[in-house]
Amino acid sequence: MDLQPRLNRRAILQSSAFGFGSIALSQMLAADGLSSPITGPHFSPRAKNVIFIFMSGGPSHLDLFDPKPKLNQLHGQAVPSSFLETLADPVIKGDARCFGSPRTFRRYGQSGMQFSDYAQHLGSCADDLCMVRSMYTTTSNHDPGQLLMQCGSTLFGHPCMGSWVTYGLGSESQNLPGFVVLLSNSGEGVDGGTALWSNGFLPSNYRGVTFRNQGDPILHLSNPDGLSSEMQRQRLKAITRLNSARFEKTGDPEITARIEAYELAYRMQSAAPELVDFSKETEATRTLYGLDQDMTRPFGSNCLLARRMVERGVRFVQLYHSTWDDHSDLNNHLKKNTDMTDLPAAGLIQDLKQRGLLDDTLVIWAGEFGRTPMHEIRRGVNPGKEGRDHHPFGFSILMAGGGIKAGTTIGKTDELGYHAIEDRIHVHDLQATILHCLGLDHTRLTYRHQGRDFRLTDVAGNVVEKLLA
């Protein structure tokens, strides 16, 4: 197929008018399969937006969401050998002893959903939540585990979930990116790094854009001193003409992604500062998110930003908080993380609900795996400072809104919290269900790369009907 005449025509359209030409160009590229066709959902969606709260490091399901009286009863005793058949680490396996949780649990709401004393604010949202206690994954290391949860593959170089969703659905926001990433100011990085919000082999305009919750929302977004908005507009028009000329010669679709990025950046110069200006939010709203407390303010600011983003049409908002990797001193570290995140996460759900946004917004609270029912004592760790190791065989997540069945607990683990034994849900099943809520068939959302069709769920995944309202 000879693309050159069409590409020349596209270049003329691109350079003919600031903004309008690029719209026509994108539509023509879509028609020829050179860019994502934004055709809308495959069927009627229940959710329009996603807020994924990713708690990287592996939160302990046993100390937050899944109480195990039997584990407490066996505290300090050797773990029955039948539970350890899948445990590869010979050091832990040789001295595996049950580690009962010191947390107290109670039931919340009409649903009677159980939360520990470290997650009381989330507990207050019980009747709006779906708790999944039977998640499992196929890797127990942070980088591949986070990649699998976010990108559907343990290998670097694959598109993440936010990229897949915006590739399939586009964005309703004209002045903000369709996919935004917010990093918590916890002082810890995310193990998987920028690969977790990478576009992979999809066009680069589907990559997640990182925002800051104070100062300039995006570094270098503001004009330099002495450069007016009109001067910036004229400069952008000149860059667009140069890029169009280059596109005419090469036909490289990445050039169109660059053009779109420049135009979006220009529009964001006015939209982004307004986004992070909380001055018009009521005092009650600020308190709901914990903005009046030093401990909760950083994560609470990101949660409030997430709500403001979905109000403005951003399709996918990813919040990262690190790290829950508590190999030692579990109780103190877990309290610190929940003190920072429990109130704001609950505030987000409550705020979305009272504004009528929760029905259209799918909220997920999850890490890459859970923690072991046995203790882990590392060198130099004093008694009473024990932790838990990585655990892929059974863990818990929370979901709310966007077509998810509220006030329900799905699945269960065995009496020690080791294996998921009822309604087991793999990461790919979760991803298929998230896409389903957005009106996307995960088997049809594909992209051809290196001679084969790729998708978020690889060659697996089933929609979990029990999760759906």
Query: pLDDT tens digit string along 262-280?
Result: 566 656 666 677 888 899 9
Q: 377 and 299, same structural domain?
A: yes
Q: 346 and 235, same structural domain?
A: no
- DSSP letter for each residue of 192-239: TGGGGG--TTS-GGGS-EEE-SSSSSSTT-SPPTT--HHHHHHHHHHH
Q: 248 and 307, same structural domain?
A: no
Q: 324 and 257, same structural domain?
A: no
Q: 323 and 202, same structural domain?
A: yes
Q: What's the pLDDT score for residue 187?
A: 60
Q: 115 and 74, same structural domain?
A: yes
pTM of the model: 0.85
Q: 173 and 303, same structural domain?
A: yes
Asked if 100 contacts 89 with a C-beta cutoff of 8 angstroms, the reply is no
Q: What's the pLDDT score for residue 231?
A: 65
- The C-alpha atoms of residue 154 and residue 284 are separated, in whole angstroms, by 42
Q: Is 317 part of a structural domain of the chain?
A: yes
Q: Is 40 part of a structural domain of the chain?
A: no
> Which region, left, alpha or beta, applies to residue 407 given φ > 0 means left and ψ of -120 to 50 means alpha?
left
Q: What's the pLDDT score for residue 21?
A: 42
Q: What's the pLDDT score for residue 29?
A: 41
Identity of the residue numbered 28: M
Q: Is 389 part of a structural domain of the chain?
A: yes
Q: Is 432 part of a structural domain of the chain?
A: yes
Q: Is 299 part of a structural domain of the chain?
A: yes
- The C-alpha atoms of residue 317 and residue 176 are separated, in whole angstroms, by 11
Q: 176 and 191, same structural domain?
A: yes
Q: What's the pLDDT score for residue 32?
A: 38
Q: Is 39 part of a structural domain of the chain?
A: no
Cβ within 8 Å of residue 15, ≥6 positions away = 21, 240, 241, 244, 245
Run of H or E residues at 131: strand 129-136
Q: How many domains does the chain have?
A: 2
Q: 386 and 239, same structural domain?
A: no
Q: 334 and 266, same structural domain?
A: no
Q: 23 and 154, same structural domain?
A: no
* pLDDT digits 0-9 by tens, 4-45: 333 344 444 444 444 444 444 444 444 333 334 456 799 999
- The C-alpha atoms of residue 224 and residue 222 are separated, in whole angstroms, by 6
Q: What's the pLDDT score for residue 291?
A: 96
Q: Is 43 part of a structural domain of the chain?
A: no
Q: 399 and 267, same structural domain?
A: no
- The C-alpha atoms of residue 410 and residue 186 are separated, in whole angstroms, by 31
- The C-alpha atoms of residue 104 and residue 7 are separated, in whole angstroms, by 65
Q: Is 453 part of a structural domain of the chain?
A: yes
Q: What's the pLDDT score for residue 379?
A: 61
* Stretches in the chain below the pLDDT threshold 50: 1-37, 90-91, 94
Q: What's the pLDDT score for residue 149?
A: 98
Domain boundary among 275, 290, 310: 275
Whichever domain contains 342, its CATH number is: 3.40.720
Domain of residue 271: give its range: 1-34+225-275
Nearest alpha-carbon partner for 432 in 409, 455, 403: 455
